[in-house]
Amino acid sequence: MNATLLDTEKNYVKPQKFSFENFVCENGEVIPYVDIAYETYGTLNASKSNAILIAHAFSGDAHAAFYHEGETRAGWWDNMIGPNRAFDTNRFFIICSNVIGGCAGSTGPSSINPNTGRPYALDFPQVTIRDMVAAQKKLIEHLGIEKLYSLAGGSMGGMQVLEWLVSYPHAVLSAIPIATTARHSPQQIAFNEVGRQAIMADPKWNGGNYYGAEIPRAGLSVARMVGHITYMSEKSMAEKFGRRTKSAADSTKFHADFEVEGYLRNRGDFFVRRFDANSYLYISKAMDLFDASGGRHLSEKFFELEAKLLVLAFKSDWLYPAHQSLDIVTACKITGVPVSYVEIEANYGHDSFLVETEKQSQIVRHFLSRVDELIY
Amino acid sequence: MNATLLDTEKNYVKPQKFSFENFVCENGEVIPYVDIAYETYGTLNASKSNAILIAHAFSGDAHAAFYHEGETRAGWWDNMIGPNRAFDTNRFFIICSNVIGGCAGSTGPSSINPNTGRPYALDFPQVTIRDMVAAQKKLIEHLGIEKLYSLAGGSMGGMQVLEWLVSYPHAVLSAIPIATTARHSPQQIAFNEVGRQAIMADPKWNGGNYYGAEIPRAGLSVARMVGHITYMSEKSMAEKFGRRTKSAADSTKFHADFEVEGYLRNRGDFFVRRFDANSYLYISKAMDLFDASGGRHLSEKFFELEAKLLVLAFKSDWLYPAHQSLDIVTACKITGVPVSYVEIEANYGHDSFLVETEKQSQIVRHFLSRVDELIY
C-alpha cells in the first residue's frame, strides 16, 4: 500500500498499556487483573470530542497504524488512518486496543493466572464480544472520553461496533460496521469450528497446556489456511495465482505443486509465529456466540441509539455476504436510525476492508464530515 | 430420499471385480496388478448399444444404486438410477466402477504392493483423472462395449466425463457433466490443499505409513469437515441448523455449542471409518492436476467429439460455480458440439447433484430420450 518511506517521513507510535482489576465477564467469572494493550494516533482535543475507536478483526491487534521504532511495516490499517487519510489524525484522536482474550499485549489465555503463577490456558474464562467492548469502555473512560465521535471496524471489529451500539447507545455519535454481521450464520460457525478442530486435533495442543513446550504449530497452521481461503475471493485467488506451478525443486509427493498451495503454507507458517492457539479458540468462539440482537430482531435493540451509521459491505465478500450487512441496515430503518449503506465493488473478498483503500476511504471521509456538520 | 421399502421391493446388486496387469500410468509408472470394483444395473442389449457409464465423485464408490444383500441404505445415486428413474434400468445397462487410486475395492495406495508384500502407501504412483478413465475404458472393453450410449457424473465424476470425451472422442454418443469444471480454480485447489495439510499434519499419518497401526483419524476428520462445508450452501446450512444449540451435556470448553458443529464432527467421524487417508491425498491431487484442456482452450480438444452434451450446474453451488460449467458450454459452441445447458435452482449447494432429484431427473430423462431419437 505504501511506497517506501524514508525514516524521517514515517509516523511513529508507541504501544501503551492500561490495566484494571477484577473484571467481571459476561458469564460471571472474574479476571483478577487485566492488561489492555492500546495505541493512539493524533491528538485528543480539549473538549475530548474528537475520539474515534477502531476495533480490530479476529487476528488483528492494537497496532492499527504508523510504525513502531525500527519497524519496516506499518500497522494493519495504516492505509486508512493517518494525516489526511480517511480517519484523519490531523482532526481526530484515534484509539485502537487489543481485545481481551487476545495474545498481542492484552490479557488472554496465554497470560499468567495470578492464582497459579502459570498461564491460564483453558482456565481463562470464555470471554465474549461484550466483554471485549466492556474492556474498551473502561479504556475510553480512563482516557476521559464520554462520547466517541465515531467507532469503526471490519469483520469481528464490526461485531464490536454493533455491541458498542447496543451496550452503550448513548456513548457513540456515529459508527461504521464494515463487512460484518449481527450474528454468525451456521456456515461462518462451521468454518471457525474447522479451525478449532484442526488446533485441538494436534497432539501438541495437549488440552491447551503447551506453554513452555512445543506449540501446536501444525494444527494452528491448518486453521489459518482455512481462514485465508475464506478471506479471499475466487476471483482474487485466480488473479493472484492462476494455476501457476512452483519449481519442482521439492520432488516429494504432495509438495506444493501450485503457487496457491505454497502461499497458503507460508501464510500458515507465518501465523503460528505470532498468534496463540488458545487465543484462536477463545476469540473464534466469542465470534460464534455473538448475537447483537440477543436472539430477537436486531431492531428491538436499536431503539435507544443516538448514533448515525455507515454500513459497508463488499461485493466479492462471500464469508460476510452483503445480505448480513443489509440486516443491520433494515434494523436501522425500522427504528429510524440514520444509516447510509454502500456495497463496494472490490475483488478481494472479505479482505477488501483491509486492502481496498480508495473507495472505502472516500466514503468514510465523507461520512465523518457529515456527522460533523449535523452534530456540531 | 426413499420411503422405507419392504425387502421384497428392493432391487439388489452384487459387487463385481475386473482385473488387469501392467497398467501404465500417465506419468509412466507401472502398476503391476489392478483390480477395479464395479457394479451394473439393468441388462446389456444384444447390440451392446444401451450402456451408460456413471463416474463417481471424490469420495464415492462403485455402489451407485440398489442394495447389497442385508443393506439398509441404497447406493449413492439410487434416486437417479433404477426402473423408471432418470437412468432407467428398464432401458439402459448402467455401469459404475470405483476409481483407480480409491479405497472401495479398486487398487489404490492401501492395496498390497506385489513388489514388497506391504501396502503401497506413498509408493503408489500419482494417478490422474486420465488414468481413472483409462481403467474404465478397459472395463468397458472387457464388457464388450464399443460405444457408450451415455456417460454421466457430478463433481470429480464430471471431470472423468470430460476426460472420456477428450481421450476417447469416438467412444461416446452422449455425455452429462454435472456440477463440474474442466480444471480447478486456485480456490478449489486451496480447499483440497487444506484437507491434505490437515491429514499430513496428523502425526499418525506418519509419512503415509499407518497401515496396520492407528490411522490419522483426527486429520482425516478435519479434512472431511472442510469438505462438507464446501459441499453445502450458506442457505442449506441455515435451513438445516440455524443457530440452534445442542444440549449442554458436554460442559468442557470448546465442545459443540451449535448443532452445525456437532453435525460436522459426526460427518468427520463417520468418514474416517470408510475412507483411506492416502486415497484422500491421491484423489484430491488428481483433481487439482486435472486440466481437460491441457493448458490450452478447451475447444481445441473438442473438435473430434461425436457426442451430444448436457451440461448441468446448480445455482447455489459455490464450490463448482456455474461459470465453470459455462466454460464447457462455450467450448461446445465454438466447435459445434450439440449442447444443452441448465442451471438448476436448488438450495443444496454442490451436494445438489446428489440430493436434488426432481428437476435433474426430468432433464436427464428428456436428454437421454432425445439422444435416442436423433441417433438411432
Q: Kindly provide the ipTM of the predicted complex, given to two decimals.
A: 0.93
Dist CA A285 CA B131 (whole Å): 44
User: pLDDT digits over B100-111, tens only?
Assistant: 999 999 999 999
**A351 in the same domain as A368:** yes
pLDDT at res. B181: 98
CATH of the domain at B205: 1.10.1740.110
Q: Which of B337, B339, B361, B357 has its CA nearest to residue B348?
A: B357
SS (H, E, C) chain A: CCCCCCHHHCCECCCEEEEEEEEECCCCCEEEEEEEEEEEECCCCCCCCCEEEEECCCCCCCCCCCECCCCCCCCCCCCCEECCCCEECCCCEEEEECCCCCCCCCCCCCCEECCCCEECHHHCCCCCHHHHHHHHHHHHHHCCCCCECEEEEECHHHHHHHHHHHHCCCCECEEEEECCCCECCHHHHHHHHHHHHHHHHCHHHHHHCCCCCCCCHHHHHHHHHHHHHHHCCHHHHHHHHCCCECCCCCCCCCCCCEHHHHHHHHHHHHHHCCCCHHHHHHHHHHHHHCECCCCCCHHHHCCCCCCEEEEEEECCCCCCCHHHHHHHHHHHHHHCCCEEEEEECCCCHHHHHHHCCHHHHHHHHHHHHHHHHHHC
Q: Specify the number of domains making up chain A.
A: 2
Cβ distance of B264 and A289 shorter than 8 Å: no
User: pLDDT digits over B165-221, tens only?
Assistant: 999 999 999 999 999 999 999 999 999 999 999 999 999 999 999 999 999 999 999
| Chains A & B: contacts with CB separation below 8 Å | 144
Task: Let me know if residue A74 belongs to a domain.
Answer: yes
pLDDT at res. B21: 98
**B154 in the same domain as B22:** yes
Task: Let me know if residue B174 belongs to a domain.
Answer: yes
CB proximity B16 to A under 8 Å? no
Write the residue in A197, A254, A265 that is nearest to B222 by C-beta: A197
Domain boundary residue among A285, A313, A334?
A: A285
Residue B350: active-site member: yes
Q: Can you say how many angstroms the Cα of residue A309 is from the centroid of all Cα atoms in its chain? A: 18
Cβ distance of A196 and B232 shorter than 8 Å: no
pLDDT at B373 over 70: no
Cβ distance of B256 and A193 shorter than 8 Å: yes
Task: Let me know if residue B359 belongs to a domain.
Answer: yes
Dist CA B221 CA B277 (whole Å): 10
Domain that holds residue A353: 6-184+291-375
The pLDDT mean for chain B works out to 94
Contacts of residue B194 in chain A, CB cutoff 8 Å? 222, 225-226, 229, 264
**B65 in the same domain as B78:** yes
Q: Can you say how many angstroms the Cα of residue A196 is from the centroid of all Cα atoms in its chain? A: 18
Please, how many CA atoms are within 13 Å of residue A342, restricted to the half-sphere of its CB?
Answer: 15
Instruction: Output the nine-digit C-alpha cell for B342.
Output: 441448465
Dist CA A101 CA A18 (whole Å): 15
User: pLDDT digits over B8-52, tens only?
Assistant: 789 999 999 999 999 999 999 999 999 999 999 999 999 999 999
Dist CA B185 CA B187 (whole Å): 5
Contacts of residue B258 in chain A, CB cutoff 8 Å? 186, 189, 193, 288
* E strand or H helix that includes residue B41: strand B30-41
Output the CA torsion sign for B79, B2, B246, A291: positive
Domain boundary residue among A285, A318, A352?
A: A285
Residue B154 to residues A24, B63, B114, B358: CA-CA distances in angstroms?
Answer: 53, 15, 33, 16
**A154 in the same domain as A202:** no
Instruction: Return residues 239-258 of B near A (CB < 8 Å).
Output: 240-243, 253-254, 256-258
Q: At what angle do helices A186-201 and A217-231 cross, to 10 degrees?
A: 160
Average confidence (pLDDT) per 10 residues, chain A, 376 residues: 65 97 98 98 97 98 97 96 97 98 98 97 97 98 98 98 97 97 97 97 97 96 96 94 74 82 92 96 97 90 93 98 97 95 96 94 94 58
**A224 in the same domain as A120:** no
Instruction: Return residues 214-243 of B near A (CB < 8 Å).
Output: 218-219, 221-222, 225-226, 228-229, 232, 234, 237-238, 240-243
Task: Let me know if residue A266 belongs to a domain.
Answer: yes
CATH of the domain at B89: 3.40.50.1820
pLDDT at res. A375: 47
Note the maximum CA span of chain B.
66
pLDDT at B249 over 60: no
**A295 in the same domain as A170:** yes
pLDDT at res. A295: 82
Dist CA B117 CA B291 (whole Å): 34
**A109 in the same domain as A125:** yes
Q: Which of A49, A160, A48 has its CA nearest to residue A97?
A: A160
Average of pLDDT values for B239-255?
77
**A169 in the same domain as A83:** yes
Average of pLDDT values for B290-311?
92
Task: Let me know if residue B1 belongs to a domain.
Answer: no
**B348 in the same domain as B312:** yes
Domain boundary residue among A255, A270, A285?
A: A285
| B59-71 exposure pattern, b = at least 16 Cβ within 10 A, e = fewer | bbbbbbbbbeeee
Average of pLDDT values for B254-274?
91
Residue bearing cell 482516557: A143
* Helical spans, DSSP H, in chain B: 129-142, 156-167, 186-201, 217-231, 234-241, 259-272, 277-289, 322-335, 352-355, 358-375
**A226 in the same domain as A146:** no
Task: Let me know if residue A107 belongs to a domain.
Answer: yes
SS3 (DSSP) at B243:
coil
Side chain identity at residue B233, one-letter code: S
pLDDT at B3 over 60: no
User: B358: buried, middle or exposed (CB in 10 Å: 19+, 13-18, 0-12)?
Assistant: exposed
* E strand or H helix that includes residue B17: strand B16-24
Task: Let me know if residue A1 belongs to a domain.
Answer: no
For B278, phi and psi rounded to 5 degrees? -70, -35
**A177 in the same domain as A315:** yes
Task: Let me know if residue B155 belongs to a domain.
Answer: yes
**A335 in the same domain as A273:** no
